[in-house]
Structure 1
Amino acid sequence: MTLNNLDIKGLSSKEVTEARQRYGANSLTYKKENGFIDALKSIVKEPMVILLLVTAAIYFISGKNGDGFFLASAVILVSGISLYQDSRSRNALDKLKDYSQPTCKVIRDGVIVEIKSGDLVIGDCLIVEEGTSVSADGVIIQSNDFSVNESILTGESLPVYKDKSTTDNTILRGTTVAGGLAIARVTAIGNKTRLGAIGKSLEAITEEKTPLELQINNFVKKMVVAGAIVFIIVWAINYTHSRNLTDSLIKALTLAMSILPEEIPVAFTSFMALGAWRLMKMGIVVKQMKTVETLGSASVICTDKTGTITENKMSLAKVFALESGKITDAGGTYDEPERKLIRVAMWASEPIPFDPMEIALHEAYAKTAVTDERPRYKMVHEYPLGGKPPMMTHLFENENNERIIAAKGAPEAIMKVADLDEIQIQQLQTTINALASEGYRILAVAEAHFAGNNFPATQQEFEFGFKGLVAFYDPPKKNIKAVLETFYKAGITVKIVTGDNAATTAAIARQIDFKGADKCISGDELMELDSNQLGHSVQKLNIFTRMYPDTKLRIINALKSQQEIVAMTGDGVNDGPALKAAHIGIAMGKKGTEIARQAASLILLEDDLSKMTDAVAMGRRIYTNLKKAIQYIISIHIPIILTVFIPLALDWIYPNIFSPVHIIFLELIMGPTCSIIYENEPMEKNTMLQKPRPFTTTFFNWKELATSVVQGLMITAGTLATYQWAVKVGLNEPQTRTMVFTCLIAANVLLTLVNRSFYYSVFTTLKYKNNLVLLIIGITIIVTGLLLYVKPLSVFFGFASLSLFQLAFAFGSGFISVAWYEIVKWRKRRTKQLS
């Protein structure tokens, strides 16, 4: 059966345009969310914005209009930065949604074309086949042994068989095709579909927060509580001393502002969304944000062989007809037994082939057949791919009731159901071993005869006659050796999990220098192992052959139980459960079924495993840069908090060295630094030479947290030492404030540079390509200079001019309070070189 024989032309281009104008797009639209308004609502709820508004109000009440207007302006500026970051994140996610939109096949102008499901229109002739998700409601006009799983709508998990003659001859959006193929005329799209009608319930579904997101949110909440407690204590102390309500409130609010690390959740959202966008530009679609977190931890990658390690360009290489007993090269001159073998192999394939092997068989038949019989026959029954090992059977009839029953599948499966004697079995086994040892993918072909219409319940019940073997060659991808080497250097174990036989898989594995090519285990052997044996085997072995859905899932779960972070590639319907179970399910964008793409969390658009190394590298880069940003935030918040609190708590001569305007200025510097500079940092050169980081529930280990705390305390020591020196030499409050502020700005600038790497020196990181570093630091220095030396600004901020020596002292204190960490990094490098 070919498309031309179906007499289905589908819509013309003009009819498609008219239908789209009349009925709209095929998209589910319910409550229209306004991202800008939602972002504004979230900003209003931010603790920092609330504090700013309250403080501004207090300033206005107390008659300090200048300070009030400044804080009100700061609210606008902070909101603007937040809205900009939110806009970047939303735009990135919107583009990701567009990229991850499923595709479907339709017949238009008499040709099969692939389009995005959103482009479907009413009247389209939609082709749905095994493994695809139905994109719209329609009425079946042609089908081949078609069954569909409608559990999403009905709750019934068993497949429902349908054709155009059944009472229920419709297909429904959101359901999945369990077997066969159907062509349906689209009758409803978008909200008019059955799924669309009940889709209101989808609005209530919210995506669960990831462990890292929960940790960050909990940390921020704790800091908010701490800020509230400190606020009350400081307000009480100040009020007791001064009995001035508004003044004591402002001083307490100053400290509360210094405690809130509101940059952290902004940084997290920005890093994840923009990281996903960067991955998409590389041809990697991330469907779930948590995948970005997990990528850098991947310790094991389970990959299919066909189409992932190999080209998936199946060409018929050899044929072995049992009747002649000889192996013949494909493409040459065939004798009658070989032509019969190819004919049966073609009939055992799908009428509209999409599998590379079946396409090759159809092409071989077209070249060898004297007369093309395909237009005269139609499929009357189909037994889909099934069994362990798998096989499939197709039944065709013509107008004269002449019948063809053809089967193909794994040689072991066909040999089980065929009538063979011991000599033939031995001959076949020798031939299979010879072909498999050269890396050929082998299928066995058989034919049966059945007179009645009461077909057996299973295909194995037919009495088959063994016809022969067809061998395909699928060469390894040219870059696969380099890809594997990258994984190995990164400390990632690669395992081949395939439905192919052991000899063929081992041959390909040897060709690509795959580690562990000499040992393997079959699906049946694996299922016999107990939990302890299984755990040992999945760690020790790297090749798993003759695998089926249950075994794939068991491998994934066993690896997870061994504390491995598992990535798995898959493309078929049967890969769905294992893809869902893996920490990182990877579907192929071209050859992957829709079911696989739905189950996966990541899609490789070009079916290229080398992209997975890029994804792991990006995951490690994002995670590392996010940690740098948050460590920077922690380190710089500590001196701000303590510089405000210690003079007040110890009743120093100038107890309120900073006011809210100073804190807000520092916050405006830190926000862009952590969210813009660090997000744009390139990957460090040793990143892909390190072992995968343990996927623990803690974002920071104690050593990393201690580093940030010590850095913060050292900067605090620098600022307070500057404070005490200024007092000691008799400087007044504005001069002291200016020196402390300058010291803190200098420390902030150098900390930004030093923390670009916790291993390499600042001289190395200065060579990293990140133009935003100079831009942001340049702006910081220029604005600080304006605050210090432009009279209206310096008066407003309570600053005073400094002598060159005083300025140098402040800068020097800030420099020393950060630069010491370069010695720590030097010792790290030296220790590693000596070890």
Structure 2
Amino acid sequence: MSLNKFKIKGLTDAQVIEAREKYGQNKVFYKKTNQFLKGLFIIVTEPMTILLFVASTIYFVSGKTSDGIFLASAIILIAVISSYQKARSRNALDKLKDFTKPKCKVIRNGVVIKIKTEKLVLGDSLLVEEGDAIAADGIIVHSNDFSVNESILTGESMAVTKDKSKKENTIFQGTMVASGLAIATISAIGCATSLGKIGASLQEIKEEKTPLELQINNFVKKMTIAGALVFFIVWAINYFNSRLLFDSLLKALTLAMSVLPEEIPIAFATFMALGAWRMMENGIIVKQMKTVETLGSATVICVDKTGTITENKMSLAKIFTLKSQKTTHIGNDLSADEKQLISISMWASEPVPFDPMEIALHDVYATEIEKDQRSQFKMVHEYPLSGKPPMMTHIFENKAGERIIAAKGGSEAILAISNISAKEKAAIEAAIQSLSTEGYRILAVGKALFKGDNFPEKQQEFLFEFIGLLAFYDPPKKNIKSVLQEFYKAGIKVKIITGDNAETTASIAKQIRFIGYEKCISGDALLQLSDEELQKQVGEIHLFTRMYPEAKLKIINALKANQEIVAMTGDGVNDGPALKAAHIGIAMGKKGTEIAKQAASLILINDDLAKMVAAVAAGRKIYANLKKAIQFIISIHIPIIFTVFIPLALGWIYPNIFSPIHIIFLELIMGPTCSIVYENEPIEKNAMSLKPRPFTNTFFSWKELSTSIIQGIVITIGTLFIYQFSVYQGFNEQVTRTMVFLVLVTANIFLTLINRSFYYSIFTTLQYKNNLVFLITGITIFITALLLTVQPLLDFCLFTKLNLQQVGLAIGAGIVSVLWYELVKIWKRNFKRA
């Protein structure tokens, strides 16, 4: 909330309520999908649900009513668990979408406030500035140097200048402010706006799947096909041996159910959505889910200087006047020449300032100039910020016909069009060098004389008198040194890309211990390089100064051509193309323009680069935990598949050791483990000291799958050993089944604990803060104990009570079949770099 300087009161709270009741909210209403029915349809059509339904039907037809009821109940239970997981993901994403809804500034009760765009009402006084997306249609009542890009409506990319006194005095929803500032009275909202009328007829665009999501879907599809093939093979073998149709189908369905890794897609959706929600709670808004995948792979981060490395608190610290050729601290007594410099610099600023430097100039003018003439002069012409480096010129007149033509901008820009001698130029350049080396941001100020009203087309056509230099100081953020060290420790290179000059940027870079501050390249020099030279330079140089939008974009593309995964911070209109081109576009939440936020895939709410370190850590954590979950799913599915298939294929004494009922029990144990326990795992302590993960890595390459496959095979060996041991001891089928089931449950529990880290020991991971591990493990042990001790449950599952020796052997085999991986971890920690 802030006071406004526009003498516009806006609506009162009572008028806002009245307008909202009468005309509604600023929303465009599209046809919405019923999420419940959509979710129900997805669950009903899932392969596992179909298999359960078929198995349940066969049990009912065969007269095994209790088994049929159990499987029907299992369908409902799995549907509830699946719905809960999806609801968690959907709610997290809905909250994220609500949080990322665009905001706008309005004047109400005489005060400028920020509200969500949907809260706008008819008659509101909307304040828009450079880089804002216009939230509704309105009629301009005040403007400064105001132009709008209306390409979304007209297809014309050129900015249109608008003013209340011109025919073009209307702004439209969805268009972008190209320059300046305006206040408009809202004339249409929601579906009544020009864009709303077009948008209401459009259907919702379908979101594209991310690369990892496609890989997961492809893997599950392949496993589904494999399950179908195995189903037919097993059904054929059983039917050939028994000639019993329904019995053969049930046994084939058992194996098909064991093959399907239906937990993987649910785990992926849960991890991504909840990960994004947790990041939002930490001050990081993730706009695109694919960003979560990419974060852990970032190898380079390109940052702006002003407001990212520095505090963006511009204060006028020193001034240099050409006439006296001396530099003075603000706060000292100022001479007449120095006061003239302050006055001209204020006239070169917007009458109602919104830029931090212009606000500082108005404040110094009010403090240092005895006679305030701002109310006596009116701006009659202006030249917006333009050129390389940029400059701007304002022309003011009073009623007596006195005229002020004032300009400010980059020192090179003002020097190029000023009438100065070689000696004066040398003095100015020496002052610029001295101030820049101290870390000040430099602006030059000039004034011109011009008779008549036929002003030049370009401001550069005036002949300016060089008045002096303004030295602004924007101190580095207090935490920026430690932030840089965190990036370097994580193996991420940092590059500064700024519009400021080389000396100022190098000075600030040196203060914050930035690696590579000694060498830099300018935008002009960079644009002259060939593609090959550019790729080499962007690899070696870390400081880029006097950069223009096209130069920034070339840097990003060259880094991408070097196979870097690029993160880029930005806040201005001109940062849009580079933000969009980067793998991870990062907009600033406070000082970022709406254009920058729309182009970015991630927003730092408080403009704090330290949050980007947290974002990279979160990305690495989410990916690592998802990898653990998927590896767990694959590892535990392998022994289930082989335990069902091998006795049948090899004609062992008890060929059908498990039925669909046993597989469902195991599925219900596995599901919560992978998608609840692992999602809640904290980041491992070495995660931010490892090199970035290559973006091309996939869970489903041989390298990634080998550990899971080996773990699964060893558990299979342990399970089948107990099977054969039981047969060798002469135990009956029920004892054998019970012991084999207990081996798998034990292996499941210990695999959960072992796979919490593929590097640190189980004794280290047991100290990790994740209460869900012990909750889920405790529930699993409790349910298993019930199944193996309560007689009705024993009868239902075709189990029997085991003696202590049998329990000990089964549990021991389950533990040993998993615990061996601790030896691999010891080898990794001692003989191999992490």
Q: TM-score, normalised by structure 2?
A: 0.98
Q: Deviation digits for residues 182-213 of structure 1, max 9, x if unmatched? A: 21111111222222211135533111111111
Q: Which residue does the alignment assign to 1:249?
A: 249
Q: Which residue does the alignment assign to 2:130?
A: 130
Distance 1:171 1:729 in 2: 87
Secondary structure class of the residue paired with 1:717: helix
Question: Would the aligned equivalents of 2:5 and 2:352 in 1 still touch at CA under 8 Å?
Answer: no
Distance 1:828 1:7 in 2: 70
Distance 2:766 2:519 in 1: 48
Secondary structure class of the residue paired with 2:203: helix
Question: Would the aligned equivalents of 1:211 and 1:697 in 2 still touch at CA under 8 Å?
Answer: no
Which range moves more in the overlay, 377-386 or 64-73? 377-386
Secondary structure class of the residue paired with 1:679: helix
Question: Would the aligned equivalents of 2:722 and 2:739 in 1 still touch at CA under 8 Å?
Answer: yes
Q: Which residue does the alignment assign to 1:634?
A: 634
Question: Would the aligned equivalents of 1:51 and 1:253 in 2 still touch at CA under 8 Å?
Answer: yes
Distance 1:250 1:550 in 2: 65
Distance 1:741 1:781 in 2: 13
Q: Which residue does the alignment assign to 2:523?
A: 523
Q: Which residue does the alignment assign to 1:508?
A: 508
Which range moves more in the overlay, 514-523 or 349-358? 349-358
Distance 1:744 1:401 in 2: 94
The Cα shift of 1:169 comes to 2.4
Which range moves more in the overlay, 194-203 or 766-775? 194-203
Q: Deviation digits for residues 19-51 of structure 1, max 9, x if unmatched? A: 122222222221123333322221112111111
Question: Would the aligned equivalents of 1:180 and 1:382 in 2 still touch at CA under 8 Å?
Answer: no
Q: Which residue does the alignment assign to 2:545?
A: 545
Q: Which residue does the alignment assign to 1:712?
A: 712
The Cα shift of 1:232 comes to 1.5
Which range moves more in the overlay, 544-553 or 10-19? 10-19
Q: Deviation digits for residues 787-835 of structure 1, max 9, x if unmatched? A: 11111111111111111001111111111111111111111111048x9
Question: Would the aligned equivalents of 1:301 and 1:493 in 2 still touch at CA under 8 Å?
Answer: yes
Question: Would the aligned equivalents of 2:699 and 2:705 in 1 still touch at CA under 8 Å?
Answer: no
Cα 1:322/1:705, change in 2 over 3 Å: same
Which range moves more in the overlay, 659-668 or 696-705? 696-705
Distance 1:280 1:246 in 2: 52
Question: Would the aligned equivalents of 1:212 and 1:697 in 2 still touch at CA under 8 Å?
Answer: no
Q: 1:243 corresponds to which letter in structure 2?
A: R
Distance 1:588 1:5 in 2: 26
User: Which aligned pairs between 1:460-479 and structure 2 lie closer than 5 A?
Assistant: 460-479=460-479
User: Which aligned pairs between 1:667-746 and structure 2 lie closer than 5 A?
Assistant: 667-696=667-696, 698-746=698-746
Q: Which residue does the alignment assign to 1:21?
A: 21
Distance 1:154 1:552 in 2: 28
Cα 1:54/1:4, change in 2 over 3 Å: closer
Which range moves more in the overlay, 319-328 or 635-644? 319-328
Q: 1:630 corresponds to which letter in structure 2?
A: I
Number of positions where the alignment pairs a residue of Structure 1 with one of Structure 2: 833
User: Which aligned pairs between 1:122-161 and structure 2 lie closer than 5 A?
Assistant: 122-161=122-161
Which range moves more in the overlay, 207-216 or 26-35? 26-35
The Cα shift of 1:700 comes to 4.5
Q: Deviation digits for residues 428-466 of structure 1, max 9, x if unmatched? A: 000000001110011011122333333323221222221
Q: 1:20 corresponds to which letter in structure 2?
A: R
Q: 2:442 corresponds to which letter in structure 1?
A: I
User: Which aligned pairs between 1:337-736 and structure 2 lie closer than 5 A?
Assistant: 337-696=337-696, 698-736=698-736
Distance 2:748 2:7 in 1: 73
The Cα shift of 1:401 comes to 4.3
Distance 1:309 1:146 in 2: 29
Distance 1:602 1:824 in 2: 38
Question: Would the aligned equivalents of 1:145 and 1:381 in 2 still touch at CA under 8 Å?
Answer: no
Cα 1:658/1:417, change in 2 over 3 Å: same
Q: Deviation digits for residues 494-533 of structure 1, max 9, x if unmatched? A: 1110111000111111111110111111111111111111
Q: 2:513 corresponds to which letter in structure 1?
A: D
Distance 1:376 1:195 in 2: 41
Question: Would the aligned equivalents of 2:28 and 2:200 in 1 still touch at CA under 8 Å?
Answer: no
Distance 2:462 2:139 in 1: 33
Question: Would the aligned equivalents of 2:10 and 2:110 in 1 still touch at CA under 8 Å?
Answer: yes
Cα 1:325/1:687, change in 2 over 3 Å: same
Secondary structure class of the residue paired with 2:683: coil
Q: Deviation digits for residues 660-711 of structure 1, max 9, x if unmatched? A: 1111111111110000100000000000000111110533443331110000
Secondary structure class of the residue paired with 2:405: strand
Cα 1:45/1:377, change in 2 over 3 Å: farther
Question: Would the aligned equivalents of 1:396 and 1:403 in 2 still touch at CA under 8 Å?
Answer: yes
Q: Which residue does the alignment assign to 1:331?
A: 331
The Cα shift of 1:404 comes to 2.5
Q: Deviation digits for residues 483-503 of structure 1, max 9, x if unmatched? A: 111111111111110111000
Q: 1:794 corresponds to which letter in structure 2?
A: L
The Cα shift of 1:61 comes to 1.4
The Cα shift of 1:4 comes to 7.1
Distance 2:402 2:224 in 1: 80
Cα 1:775/1:630, change in 2 over 3 Å: same
Q: 2:134 corresponds to which letter in structure 1?
A: V
Q: Deviation digits for residues 110-142 of structure 1, max 9, x if unmatched? A: 222222212211100111121110011111222
Secondary structure class of the residue paired with 2:183: strand
Distance 1:323 1:413 in 2: 19
Q: Which residue does the alignment assign to 1:56?
A: 56
Q: 1:703 corresponds to which letter in structure 2?
A: K
Secondary structure class of the residue paired with 1:676: helix
The Cα shift of 1:734 comes to 1.1
Distance 1:714 1:336 in 2: 88
Q: 2:143 corresponds to which letter in structure 1?
A: S
Q: Deviation digits for residues 605-652 of structure 1, max 9, x if unmatched? A: 111111110110010000000000000001001111111111111111
Distance 1:214 1:519 in 2: 43
Which range moves more in the overlay, 387-396 or 734-743? 387-396
**RMSD of equivalent CA atoms:** 1.5
Question: Would the aligned equivalents of 2:297 and 2:692 in 1 still touch at CA under 8 Å?
Answer: yes
Identity %: 67
Distance 2:762 2:218 in 1: 33
Q: Which residue does the alignment assign to 1:267?
A: 267
Q: Deviation digits for residues 247-306 of structure 1, max 9, x if unmatched? A: 111111111111111110101110000010110011011111111111111110100111
Distance 1:639 1:303 in 2: 50
Distance 1:389 1:613 in 2: 32
Q: Deviation digits for residues 293-331 of structure 1, max 9, x if unmatched? A: 111111101001111111111111001111222111012
Cα 1:400/1:217, change in 2 over 3 Å: farther
Which range moves more in the overlay, 49-58 or 709-718? 49-58
Distance 2:321 2:111 in 1: 36
Q: Which residue does the alignment assign to 1:237?
A: 237
Q: TM-score, normalised by structure 1?
A: 0.98
Distance 2:675 2:702 in 1: 24
Distance 1:300 1:701 in 2: 25
Distance 2:554 2:543 in 1: 14
Distance 1:380 1:48 in 2: 74
User: Which aligned pairs between 1:208-227 and structure 2 lie closer than 5 A?
Assistant: 208-227=208-227
Cα 1:399/1:31, change in 2 over 3 Å: farther
Cα 1:452/1:242, change in 2 over 3 Å: farther
Q: Deviation digits for residues 43-66 of structure 1, max 9, x if unmatched? A: 112111111112111211111111
Cα 1:234/1:433, change in 2 over 3 Å: same
Question: Would the aligned equivalents of 2:439 and 2:473 in 1 still touch at CA under 8 Å?
Answer: yes
Q: 2:262 corresponds to which letter in structure 1?
A: E
Stretches of structure 2 lacking an aligned partner (at least 5 in a row): none
Secondary structure class of the residue paired with 1:204: coil
Distance 1:418 1:783 in 2: 86
Cα 1:398/1:641, change in 2 over 3 Å: farther
Distance 2:70 2:404 in 1: 86
Distance 2:179 2:684 in 1: 48
Q: 2:447 corresponds to which letter in structure 1?
A: E
Question: Would the aligned equivalents of 1:29 and 1:191 in 2 still touch at CA under 8 Å?
Answer: yes
The Cα shift of 1:760 comes to 0.6
Secondary structure class of the residue paired with 2:25: coil
